[in-house]
């Protein structure tokens, strides 16, 4: 018998692995911005070696454990995968099946309800394919992690109580404390444990027997939770931050809000489910019709046997506590906030099926009943599989709710950058608005900086040149590019509803497109391939204290491999000078590609006491302590400098 149960549990766990791992990189599509956020923070841990205790975000903050585990997944070989957190959530979702079985077995040891034999094993198969647990496990966020943690803690608590094991109570308490590092979901784990503990000490005359064990559990909980708890005590706004963000309705009027949510949750089990197409096949209820029948029969049987059955009390209190998050938050029935209720729901489904079995066993002959029951269970499992892999997968809005646009664009840009110049804007005052770019574009040849501060151009480039401008924050760059290149192809991408950016604009400059000539023509060329096309000069004359604004247009005749600094001397003997890398060091010459033209904009202020006169403008380059060789110029100087114009300095 034990061997058969073991192999059945192996099969249930294998089934859970199959429905969670098959096609994981493609379904759901990559990648929801929360998954990208976890991947970015995990990469920071690997690069910096620091494990933050809490992340302060504009949506109320994030507890760190999911990030820590995602860093582990990236360290094991998934570092370039934007959905590395999915391996964490699916693995924990799979482990939830044997953990749930262990937890149910401990309840079975308490007091058996009607003909319990085999119920935990069958419930494991139900949980393995329960639609909303599969859906949420395959999204790389915290609910599946919180589910596994809750099962581990409750299992250890019941096991410790049955065996009177101090070590078991210690493990259960430490597990509950560590679970607080997951998310606000986990705050309900100690509440469920407390209710189960009350059943151990009831009637109260038994409290002395359990005082030491539960005191040890509580101390272990506090010690594990202590670092994060101390942070919350010092900054209490972050303890409530995320909860406050999702309870706006409750804050307006709790009783009416709670009653409406209770109605929505009740309907959500069998009639009208979560409308969010990311977390659910839109509006699909939690249960299929076969599961619904079992669930309501199980609820009825458990309520009927509540007074005489400890198992009924454990299961119903478990269900009640884990439904509280969805009852007090916005957008009920939000399935992601019902995740921790999945194990008691699965057990009640099977409980109800057993009730039905016993009712029918006196009417239908044994073999026929077994065949019908087997077909019933298989049909339910198959129903849930089809709903996910066929119906959910074919939802037309799925790419949009998973914010896939930026991921697809980032991958396309990275591919283009292997052959051509690609410039993607990075807004300095809003650095974290396009997570896909932040994760996928580093270590590629895509150039990212604020195009308002540095806008490289092109002149007769042999390849197409691509720009991506964040036009919801930058209204300057697109008009500038249109003015320079009237034949440019412009494509606008509007951000999905949950994307942080509002609009991205793709500008493509065809190959061999000429750049308009600057107003002042000048010729000077330096090895290994820097050529001056011309320049702009705001004034031909200036007085001390005034500034003259220059823009020099430097073209890369070849891909450059040297970081060089440009200089401008006023007068051959350097009455005034300015040294600096073009674009304020944003885009060093070692990254320039053939055909690119980089404007070097700066202001030169005339120092007081500068002698008046007509002075030549002298330019050049140096790298380290050595000037770059001047290879061609209209007015060369013997020291690798070139005269390209003049400036009149007037008396004050």
> Is the four-CA dihedral 260, 261, 262, 263 of positive or negative sign?
positive
Mean per-residue pLDDT over the chain, rounded: 93
Cα angle for residues 62, 63, 64 (degrees, 5° grid): 110
The CATH number of the domain holding residue 563 is 2.60.40.770
State residue 117's pLDDT score: 67
Reading the block at residue 439, the tokens are 């994760």
State residue 110's pLDDT score: 64
- State the pTM of this model: 0.92
pLDDT in tens, 30-63: 999 999 999 999 999 999 999 999 999 999 999 9
Which whole-number Å values give the CA distances from 131 to 135, 234, 287, in the listed order?
Answer: 6, 41, 8
| 213 lies in the same domain as 269 | yes
| 353 lies in the same domain as 495 | no
Helix runs in 306-455, H state only: 310-327, 342-360, 366-386, 398-401, 405-416, 435-440
| 50 lies in the same domain as 84 | yes
Q: What phi and psi values does residue 475 have, to the nearest 5 degrees?
A: -100, 5
Reading the block at residue 166, the tokens are 């101090």
- Distance CA(240)–CA(259), nearest Å, equals 23
Tell me which range, 70-79, 367-376, 377-386, is most confidently predicted by mean pLDDT: 70-79
Cα angle for residues 203, 207, 212 (degrees, 5° grid): 155
| 211 lies in the same domain as 326 | yes
State residue 211's pLDDT score: 85
- Residue 153 falls inside a structural domain: yes
Q: Read off the pLDDT of each residue in 10-39 and give the average, rounded to a whole number.
A: 96
Cβ atoms of residues 537 and 645 within 8 Å: yes
The residues with which 620 forms a beta bridge, in sequence order, are: 567
State residue 114's pLDDT score: 47
- Residue 25 falls inside a structural domain: no
Q: Which residues 6+ apart lie within 8 Å of 550 measured at CB? A: 535, 536, 537, 538, 568, 600, 601, 602, 603, 604
pLDDT at 410 over 80: yes
Domains in the chain, number: 3
Q: Which residues 6+ apart lie within 8 Å of 229 measured at CB? A: 180, 222
Identify the H or E element spanning 121. helix 119-129
- Residue 32 falls inside a structural domain: no
Structural domain ending residue among the three candidates 476, 509, 542: 509
Q: Read off the pLDDT of each residue in 486-515 and give the average, rounded to a whole number.
A: 95
pLDDT in tens, 201-221: 776 666 677 888 999 999 999
- Distance CA(483)–CA(518), nearest Å, equals 13
Cβ atoms of residues 497 and 484 within 8 Å: no
**DSSP letter, residue 181:** T
State the DSSP string of 47-58.
HH----S-B--T
Q: Read off the pLDDT of each residue in 562-581 and give the average, rounded to a whole number.
A: 94
- Between 211-215, 307-311, 496-500, the lowest mean confidence (pLDDT) is in 307-311
| 499 lies in the same domain as 552 | no
pLDDT at 531 over 60: yes
State residue 116's pLDDT score: 60
- Distance CA(337)–CA(320), nearest Å, equals 13
- Residue 23 falls inside a structural domain: no
- Residue 241 falls inside a structural domain: yes
| 626 lies in the same domain as 532 | yes
- Residue 24 falls inside a structural domain: no
Distance of CA 642 to the CA centre of its chain: 53
| Burial bucket for residue 299 (CB in 10 Å: 0-12, 13-18, 19+) | buried
- Distance CA(180)–CA(221), nearest Å, equals 10
Number of neighbouring beta carbons within 10 Å of residue 163: 12
Structural domain ending residue among the three candidates 363, 380, 397: 397
Cβ atoms of residues 301 and 114 within 8 Å: yes
Judged by DSSP in three states, 441 sits in coil
| 9 lies in the same domain as 45 | yes
| 449 lies in the same domain as 306 | no
Reading the block at residue 219, the tokens are 């101390």
**DSSP letter, residue 379:** H
**DSSP letter, residue 362:** T
Q: Which residues 6+ apart lie within 8 Å of 234 measured at CB? A: none
User: Per DSSP, which regions of 146-299 are E strands?
Assistant: none
- Residue 30 falls inside a structural domain: no
Helix count and strand count (H, E) for the chain: 21, 18
pLDDT at 320 over 70: yes
Q: What b-and-e string marks burial along 300-332, b requiring 16 or more CB atoms within 10 Å of the CB?
A: ebbeebeeebbbbbbbbbbbebbbbbbbbbbeb
pLDDT at 134 over 60: yes
Range of the domain at 615: 520-649
pLDDT in tens, 178-201: 999 999 999 999 999 999 998 887
pLDDT class of 373 with cuts at 50, 70, 90 = confident
pLDDT at 293 over 90: yes
- Distance CA(133)–CA(118), nearest Å, equals 22
User: Per DSSP, which regions of 386-542 are E strands?
Assistant: 421-425, 447-449, 457-458, 465-469, 489-494, 503-509, 520-526, 530-537, 541-542
Q: Read off the pLDDT of each residue in 415-440 and give the average, rounded to a whole number.
A: 93
The percent helix, strand, coil of the chain (3-state, each to 5) is 50, 15, 35
pLDDT in tens, 83-130: 999 999 999 999 999 999 999 998 887 655 545 667 899 999 999 999
| 159 lies in the same domain as 259 | yes
- Distance CA(578)–CA(480), nearest Å, equals 26
Q: What phi and psi values does residue 365 have, to the nearest 5 degrees?
A: -65, 155
State residue 601's pLDDT score: 94
The residues with which 622 forms a beta bridge, in sequence order, are: 565, 627
- Residue 31 falls inside a structural domain: no
| 106 lies in the same domain as 76 | yes
- Distance CA(446)–CA(409), nearest Å, equals 12
| 115 lies in the same domain as 161 | yes
pLDDT class of 480 with cuts at 50, 70, 90 = very high
Q: Which residues 6+ apart lie within 8 Å of 523 measured at CB? A: 531, 532, 632, 633, 634, 644
Gyration radius of the chain over CA positions: 34
- Distance CA(424)–CA(445), nearest Å, equals 11
The residues with which 541 forms a beta bridge, in sequence order, are: 648
Structural domain ending residue among the three candidates 342, 366, 397: 397
- Distance CA(629)–CA(529), nearest Å, equals 10
| 336 lies in the same domain as 313 | yes
State the DSSP string of 55-86.
B--TTS-B-SHHHHHHHHHIIIIITT-TTHHH
């Amino acid at each position: 018998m034990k061997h058969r149960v073991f192999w059945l549990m192996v099969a249930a766990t294998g089934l859970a692995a199959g429905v969670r791992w098959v096609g994981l990189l493609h379904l759901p599509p990559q990648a929801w911005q929360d998954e990208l956020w976890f991947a970015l923070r995990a990469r920071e841990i690997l690069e910096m070696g620091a494990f933050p205790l809490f992340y302060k975000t504009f949506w109320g903050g994030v507890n760190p454990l999911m990030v820590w585990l995602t860093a582990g997944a990236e360290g094991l070989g998934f570092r370039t995968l934007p959905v590395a957190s999915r391996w964490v959530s699916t693995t924990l979702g799979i482990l939830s099946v044997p953990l749930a079985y262990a937890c149910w077995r401990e309840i079975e040891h308490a007091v058996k309800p009607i003909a319990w034999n085999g119920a935990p094993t069958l419930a494991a198969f139900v949980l393995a394919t329960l639609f909303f647990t599969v859906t949420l496990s395959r999204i790389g966020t915290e609910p599946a992690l919180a589910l596994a943690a809750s099962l581990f803690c409750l299992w250890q608590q019941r096991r410790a109580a049955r065996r009177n094991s101090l070590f078991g109570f210690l493990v259960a308490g430490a597990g509950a404390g560590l679970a607080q590092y997951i998310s606000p979901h986990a705050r309900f784990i100690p509440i469920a444990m407390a209710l189960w503990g009350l059943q151990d000490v009831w009637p109260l005359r038994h409290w002395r027997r359990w005082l030491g064990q539960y005191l040890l559990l509580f101390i272990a909980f506090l010690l594990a939770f202590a670092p994060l708890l101390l942070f919350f005590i010092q900054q209490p706004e972050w303890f409530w931050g995320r909860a406050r963000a999702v309870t706006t309705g409750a804050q307006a009027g709790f009783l009416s809000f709670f009653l409406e949510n209770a109605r929505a949750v009740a309907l959500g089990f069998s009639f009208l489910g979560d409308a969010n197409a990311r977390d659910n096949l839109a509006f699909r209820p939690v249960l299929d019709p076969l599961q619904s029948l079992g669930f309501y029969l199980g609820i009825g049987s458990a309520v009927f046997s509540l007074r005489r059955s400890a198992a009924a009390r454990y299961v119903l209190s478990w269900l009640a506590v884990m439904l509280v998050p969805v009852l007090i938050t916005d957008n009920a029935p939000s399935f992601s906030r019902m995740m921790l209720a999945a194990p008691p729901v699965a057990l009640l489904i099977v409980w109800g099926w057993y009730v039905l079995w016993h009712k029918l066993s006196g009417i239908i002959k044994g073999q026929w009943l077994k065949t019908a029951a087997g077909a019933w269970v298989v049909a339910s499992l198959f129903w849930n599989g089809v709903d996910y892999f066929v119906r959910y997968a074919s939802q037309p809005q799925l790419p949009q709710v998973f914010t896939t646009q930026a991921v697809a664009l980032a991958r396309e840009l990275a591919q283009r950058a292997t052959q051509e110049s690609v410039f993607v804007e990075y807004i300095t005052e809003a650095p974290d608005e396009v997570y896909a770019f932040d994760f996928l574009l580093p270590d590629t040849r895509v150039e990212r900086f604020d195009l308002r501060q540095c806008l490289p151009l092109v002149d007769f480039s042999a390849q197409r040149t691509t720009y991506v401008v964040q036009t919801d924050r930058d209204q300057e760059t697109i008009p500038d590019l249109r003015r320079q290149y009237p034949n440019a192809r412009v494509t606008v991408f509007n951000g999905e509803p949950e994307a942080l950016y509002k609009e991205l604009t793709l500008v493509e400059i065809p190959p061999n497109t000429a750049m308009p000539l600057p107003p002042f023509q000048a010729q000077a060329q330096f090895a290994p391939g820097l050529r001056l096309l011309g320049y702009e000069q705001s004034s031909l004359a200036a007085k001390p204290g005034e500034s003259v604004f220059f823009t020099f247009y430097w073209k890369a005749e070849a891909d450059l491999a040297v970081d060089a600094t440009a200089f401008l001397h006023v007068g051959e003997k350097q009455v005034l000078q300015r040294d600096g890398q073009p674009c304020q060091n944003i885009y060093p010459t070692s990254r320039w590609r053939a055909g690119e033209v980089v404007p070097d904009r700066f202001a030169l202020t005339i120092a007081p006491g500068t002698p008046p006169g007509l002075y030549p403008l002298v330019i050049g380059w140096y790298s380290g302590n050595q000037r770059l060789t001047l290879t061609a110029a209209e007015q060369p100087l013997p020291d690798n400098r070139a005269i390209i114009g003049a400036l009149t300095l007037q008396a004050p």
